[in-house]
Structure formats: C-alpha cells, structure tokens
Structure 1
Amino acid sequence: MDWQAHARNLAARVVRAESRWHEPLATTPRHTLVPRWWENVDGQWELRDGASDPERWMHAAYSDRTLVTRVGPLHADDASPDMVTSGLPTSSSTLPGLVVQMYRHAVIADDSEILVTTGSGYGTALACRRLGDKRVTSIDVDPGLVATARERLDALGVHPQLEVRDITGTLPGQYDRIVSTVSVRPVPPSWLAALRPGGRLVTTIAGTGLVLTADKTEDGSAVGRITEDGAGFMRTRHGDDYDRPALDVWETAQHADGEEVTTSRYPLLYVPDSWDVMSMLELEMPGIDHRVRQDGDERTVWMLHPDGSWARATAGGFLDAPTVHQGGPQRLWDVLERIRNRLNREGRLPVYGAQVAITPDGETTLSRGAWSVTL
C-alpha cells in the first residue's frame, strides 16, 4: 500500500506546505495506529477491519475525520469480525486537522516540553515528529490503550514518555504546554501545578464546543480566553465506560405527560446541532443528556437531567411549533428557551471569545461583558 501518497495528500489538505506541521502529517502512518475502528450505522456501531479492505482503510485513515476506536469498554482491536455493538464512544483517533488546530492554539516552540493525551497515539506521533521524542509525554487513563500505543509507536521508531495516568490527577513532570484532547470541567489544579510559569494549557470544556486556552502567571493562576473556533472531545473518564445517571429519567420521559405542557415559540431544536446553544446550556445546567428520534416527518427530542428533570418536545415538520412536556424539579426547556431568546435578541451568545481566569485550585471563570459563569 502506498500510504505515503495518502499521507502527503492529507497534509496538503490540512495545512500549507510551509507549516511546521506539514512534514509530521505527511510522514506519520496513521493507518498503522488505527488498524480497526467503529463506524456508526443507523445508531449501531459496526466494526471496520483495515486489513480486510485496504482501500477503505487508506481512505478512512487519511481522511480528515475522527475514527472511533473504542465503544463502551470494547476496543475495536478486541472485537470479533463483523461485530455490531452499541454505547458511547470512549476513545478515538481525533481528526488530524483538529489535532493540529489544538497544537497551534498551544503556540508550541521548537524547545517546548509538552504533555498530550494518548488515545490511538496519532497525536502523540505528530508531536514527536515535530519536537523529538524527548520533549513529549503522553498519558491515558486506560492501561490497554497505553500499551497498544507504545507497541505501535515503537514500531514506527517513536519513543515518547508514555504513562498510565488520570489526567485530572497528579501529572508526571513539569511542562511548557499541556494539550488535552479529552474535555474537562473545571481545569484540574494539577495542570497549574505542572505548568511552568508562562506555560500554556489548551483543552475543551466538557459537554461544550468550547476550546479554552490559558497561560500560567507568576502567582500560579492562569488567564486566557475561549477561542472563536469550536471543537468537541469526549469527557474524561475514570473507568471502563461513562456513567449515564439519566437512564432512569429516560423511562419516564419517553411517554409521561409531565407537570407542564406548553407550545414552544421556536422551531424544534436538537441542542447538539447548535454548538453555541449547547455550550451555553451546558455552562448553566451541566449534565443534560440529549436524545432525538425521527418517525417519518415527526421528530422528537428529549432533555434528561440526573436530578430527575426532563423535557420532551415533538413537532410534525420543520416549521411546526413543538409541543413540549416537562417534568421533574427543573424546567429544562424553559432554560433552553431563555438562551434562544438571548441569541435572538443579541445576535450571538457570549461564550465564544469569553475571557478565562483560573485560580491555582482550578476554579475556572468565564466572563464577557456583564455575563460570567464559574465552573
């Protein structure tokens, strides 16, 4: 397989030829790091095996898209041929363009010592090609992922410091840059402790599309901003799979009338389709589980909260006013409508471009004008 030609084409699509990330992209065999992956087909995850279909393998590995490598506790490497599974993605190989975007936000210098997250090892390999092995530390909470990445990176002649660590806990050294392609809320205080003065951290806020950059100051705190571009990453996890505390609420929310039935003033919105609305809602009311179902022309969306609150909205067509049922201690749809009112009134929401202040103990505050929220 002429993977080099595919890698060069990928590099040309992602960056300009003079970029310092062009050569890493053009010389890193992503397919070696992702030999198998999961694809979502009608709500189920189907296994794809590269060796059994080399053309599809090359197309997938050198496309600028994320490849899901683990669903729930099941890694694609360990799945049986033609297997189908369900659940939430728990690890992936992030799309190359987004990896580079996060690295660019970090403003990495040639002598930077950086900490990154492991996953498939692809982002780690790019950092090593750019900086050299000795300047890169890569961590993941999953021992199996770290062991597999180590083996595959060794085969490529790439030998960063790899460790099994929970990124929200103590980190294994001191760094000029921390770039996390898993999302957190709030910023772990261990990051401030591990950053050198003047060092920069780059991450996303869990449940949002917000990329946060912040520079450490001499007093041990950090200041920065939410970038104008968005990105979404999986949340940090501390076990084999994510907890889904709203599952019990789902049983009620599917069919119950609830305590309040209203007609929405806006067309039906599945919140994850609108990153700015989703981000604002998650900041104000974290932990909502969003679901959607299409039945012919009729579409229904649900919002489920671990405290027992829920909302269900149904509309027969795109322009039809949805009928909304709500139950539990909080009115989730009302919170959503207030955010949409603000968006219509002001033309944008204050989340993108917001200023960020992080205390040494990790308290993270976003602010823009009169608006602020502390995570």
Structure 2
Amino acid sequence: MTGPLPGPWREAFERVPRSAFLPDVVWVRLVDGMPDHAPVDRAVDPDGWEEIAWSDVPAVIQVRDGREPEPGEPAWPSSSVSQPSIVASTLLTLDVMDGHRVLEIGTGGGWNAGLLARRLGGANVVTVEVDPVLAAAARGRLDALGLRPTVVAGDGAKGWAERAPYDRILGTCSVARVPRAWLEQSAPGGLIVTPWTTAWATYGNLVLTPRQDGTARGRFVHGGSFMSMRGHRSRIRDVAAVVRPTDVPDTSTTTLSPWDVAGGDRHAEAVMGLVLPGLRTHWNDDPGTGDDFRSRLWIWDDALTSWATVDYDGQQLETFRVRQHGPRRLWDEVAAAWTWWTSAGRPAFDRFGLDIDPDGTQTIRYDEPDGPSWLIPLDK
C-alpha cells in the first residue's frame, strides 16, 4: 500500500507490534525461488531476528507443518506472519466498520487477529487455525497483550458456524475455490476477502460479495502471494509421479519461450492460472547425466491424464523442444492462451472475476469493456 493509514488502523498497528507475534526462531529463504529455508534464532542472532521482525518482509514461523523432515526434504514454509504492507493493504480492502463481526481463516502467529481485535474489539473477532500448536501459541500471545478474540483450532474451510453470521470474512491462506461454508456464514451485505491460488500460480486477492440467494460475485485484485490452505495444496510432490514408464510422447518445437509463461512474472503467471484452470508447472534445472537439456518446464493436469515438457538446451533461445503426452495437448493449450492474452493487450489481473451460482458452480469471468466476454467453469 501507499500513503498513511487511516487513524483507527494506524492506532492498531502502533499498539499491536508484529514483533510480539513472532516465535524466537523464524525462518528465511536461502535462495530466491526455491523452497528451502534456514532458521534464525533470536538467542543466537538477535540482530538478524530483529531485522526480520521490523522489516517489510514475511516472517516464516513454521516449516513442513511442524514435523521432522523426510530424507532430503527442504524446509518449505507452512505458516508465516505476513509482510506488514500486505497486511495493511488487505485490511483496508476488507473495509471494516465499527461493530462489524469478522471471521479470520488462518491465525498463524496471531498478528492479523490482534490488529482486528484492537480495531473492532475481541468479542467481534473469531480466528480459525488448522494447526492446534500454532493456535495455542497465538492465543497465548494475544492474551498477553490483553487482546482476546476467539481462537479456534479447526478446519478453516468449515468456518465457525457458532458465531455466524459475519459481516466480513478474511482469509490469510490462499484458496483455489471459495468454501461453501464461508458463503453460508456471511451476513447479508457482507464481504469475503481471501488470497487466491490456481494450479499454475498463487497471487492476488479475491474480493467477493455474497448474495441472499446463495450466489456471489467478486473480482480479483493485485496483492501478495500466500501459502495455500492445506486442503487446497497440490497432491503431487514429485513430477515423476505424472509420467509413466510406458508413455511415448509426441515431439515438436515451439517459438514461445517457457519463461514467458512460467518464468517469474507474477502478473503473467496469475492470468495464465485463471485461463488455464487445473494445469500445474514445475521447473527442472538439474537434469542429471545423459539428459540433453539445461532447463525443462513440466506441465501436467490435475487429473493426471496428460503432460508436456518444454526444453532449453543451453544454446538455442529462439526454438524449444516440446514433448506432449495424453489426450490433451497441454502446451498447445498454453500457447493458445498466451496468444489470446497478448493479442488482447495483456489485460490486467483485475479485469477477471469470479461468479458463484446457487448450485455451487464457480466460474472465472473475464470482463470486456462492453460486458462479459467469456466464462471458464472451475471443477467442483
């Protein structure tokens, strides 16, 4: 966000410091773009800990869901206390007013819940955390500051019906679909703000307005990248699980660079995720002996029926080798989506939205200046 915070939120941020919601050990990324993180212990490196606590960066407070690693498994992040500027921007998007009742999904360290409790009063805030250890720690930190929202250890996808309806529902973990319980527990005229994820990329927020007839309409807005709700994570941990030994792919070439569609441009990747639902990617930059590529982009579908690869050989940057297998030609689909997006002038992420029908069907919407252009149903 830019500019000063409005008075009530400024007071909340001043009275509820993020540092009070961090454990003595936080984690930092070792290499940009890679999952592995290293611990920073306050007792061993107090200056490093303080720098993380007071910087405008996310602070990872848990890795690997809190369990011991499997052999060779990196320390991938599973919970964090978010970047202050992103927290402020999201809370402003939530548009709370005095007396509003708020349900937060994903307590984490408890800082967001503390800010909401300071702004609205603890009696008006319920926060749900799937990890009971994190929930207990957050409750202790909130109590120590005299902030007492209701902290629930449970599945955030189910909301918390005991205190419904809520004027606002705030997600702090990204979702690939809006849980039905959130719609059912929203008050008339309410608002849902949640980070969004697609199989392709995690980026931005959905701002959704539920209606009394069970439908909802929302829009996507620019934002950060949040960890996925546990039930919305990919079930594939090794790309080798996608390819069968008997697969014989078709081969061809392409002039579309794999880095254009999956090379780190968050905006482009976010749009590709919206227009290519259910397609996932993975980069392999360590081919091993006998492989004739320097970098390989993998693409596969959630149903595990089809896959494709695009290879860079370390020399040729104008033409890339493509392999495709299965009933769908996934790289052809990607190329068609890229061609549409670029020919349409690369419309921004916030030109897309989400519609929810009474039967629960959720549909990605792209708005042309003169009205809806096309719709893509998400899988139920």
Displacement of 1:29 in angstroms is 2.7
Structure 2 Cα separation of the partners of residues 176 and 130 of structure 1: 14
Distance 1:222 1:179, change over 3 A: same
Map 1:59-78 onto structure 2 (within 5 A): 59-74=51-66
Q: Which residue number in structure 2 is paired with residue 7 of structure 1?
A: none
CA distance in 1, matches of 2:231, 2:247: 36
Indicate if the aligned counterparts of 1:299 and 1:317 stay in contact, CA closer than 8 A: no
Shift of residue 245 of structure 1? 2.5
Equivalents in 2 of 1:51, 1:29: separation in Å? 20
Letter in 2 for 1:353: R
Offset of 1:199 from its aligned partner? 0.5
Segments of 5+ residues of structure 2 without an aligned counterpart are 288-292
The 3 A distance-change label for structure 1 pair 320 and 214 is same
Shift of 1:261: 2.0
CA 275–225 in structure 1, closer or farther in 2 if over 3 Å, else same: same
Please tell me whether residue 102 in structure 1 is matched to residue 102 in structure 2: no
1:264 aligned onto 2:254:
yes
Equivalent residue for 2:290? Answer: none
1:156-189 Cα offsets, whole Å, 9 max, x none, are: 2211101012121252322100010112232111
One-letter amino acid matched to 1:322: F
TM-aligned CA distance change 1:257 to 1:274, over 3 Å: farther
Cα distance in 1 for partners of 2:281, 2:63 equals 17
2:295 maps to 1:299: yes
Shift of 1:252: 4.1
Comparing 203-212 with 132-141, greater Cα deviation is found at 203-212
**Alignment partner of 2:230: what SS?**
coil
Equivalent position of 1:209 in the other structure: 203
* Bigger RCO of structures 1 and 2 (CA < 8 A, at least 6 apart): 1
**Which position in structure 2 is the counterpart of 1:333?**
331
Q: Which runs of 5+ in 1 are unaligned?
A: 1-12
TM-aligned CA deviation for residue 286 of structure 1: 1.5
Give 1:247's match in structure 2, choosing from 235, 238, 242. 238
Aligned alpha-carbon RMSD (Å): 3.0
- Structure 1 residue 67: Cα displacement: 1.8
- 1:287 Cα offset (Å): 5.1
Which secondary structure does the structure 2 equivalent of 1:162 belong to?
Answer: strand
Give the aligned length. 352
Residue 190 of structure 1 deviates from its aligned partner by: 0.9
Partner residue of 2:373? 370
Q: CA deviation at 1:14?
A: 6.4
Amino acid at match of 2:355: A
CA deviations on 1:106-144 (whole Å, 9 max, x unpaired) are 211122111113011111111122222111111011111
Partner of 1:9: none
Question: For the structure 1 residues 221 and 304, does the alpha-carbon distance in structure 2 shift closer, same or farther, using more than 3 Å as the test?
Answer: closer
How far is the alpha carbon of 1:292 from its aligned partner? 4.1
Task: State whether structure 2 residue 228 is matched by structure 1 residue 235.
Answer: yes
Deviates more, 1:315-324 or 1:30-39: 315-324
Give the alignment partner of residue 359 of structure 1, picking from 352, 357, 366: 357
Structure 1 residues 363 and 233, CA gap change in structure 2 (3 angstroms)? farther
Shift of 1:344: 2.0
Q: Distance in 2 between matches of 1:257 and 1:263?
A: 19
Match of 1:47 among 32, 39, 56: 39
1:145-160 aligned at under 5 Å gives the runs 145-160=134-149
1:151 partner SS: helix
Flag the 1:344–1:60 CA change in 2: closer, same or farther, 3 A: same
> Under a length normalisation based on structure 1, what TM-score does the superposition of the two structures give?
0.83
Per-residue deviation, 1:197: 0.3
TM-score normalised to structure 2 length:
0.82
8 Å Cα contact 1:15-1:22 kept in structure 2: no
Q: CA deviation at 1:250?
A: 5.1
After the TM superposition, which residues 53-202 of structure 1 pair with which residues of structure 2 at under 5 Å, given as runs? 53-74=45-66, 86=74, 88-117=76-105, 118-172=107-161, 173=163, 174-202=165-193
Q: How far 1:302 sits from its partner (Å)?
A: 2.1
* Partner-residue secondary structure (3-state), 2:91: helix
Deviations for 1:78-106, whole angstroms, at most 9, x for unmatched residues? 99xxxx96154221111121122222222
- CA 1:214–1:85 in 2, change beyond 3 Å: closer, same or farther? same
What's 2:311 paired with?
Answer: 314
Whichever residue aligns with residue 85 of structure 2, its letter is: G
Q: Does structure 1 conserve the Cα–Cα contact (< 8 Å) formed by 2:128 and 2:159?
A: no
Letter in 2 for 1:260: D
Identity %: 29
Distance 2:315 2:52 in 1: 35
- The answer to whether the 8 Å contact 1:288/1:304 transfers is yes
* Deviation (angstroms), 1:209: 1.9
Are 1:268 and 1:321, in contact at CA under 8 Å, matched by a contact in 2? no
> Residues 271, 359 of structure 1: CA spacing in aligned structure 2 closer, same or farther, 3 A cutoff?
same
Letter in 2 for 1:373: I
Letter of the structure 2 residue corresponding to residue 235 of structure 1: S
In terms of mean alpha carbon deviation, does 165-174 or 137-146 score higher? 165-174
Once the two structures are superposed, residues 25-59 of structure 1 have per-residue CA deviations (whole angstroms, 9 ceiling, x without a partner) of 23323223112222221443211112322211121
Q: Distance in 2 between matches of 1:15 and 1:34?
A: 26
CA–CA distance in structure 1, aligned partners of residues 109 and 268 of structure 2: 31
Partner Cα separation in structure 2 for residue 26 and residue 177 of structure 1 = 23
Secondary structure at the aligned position of 2:157 is classed as coil
Q: How does 1:20-35 map to 2 (within 5 A)?
A: 20-35=8-23
Contact 1:250 1:304 (8 Å CA) reproduced: no
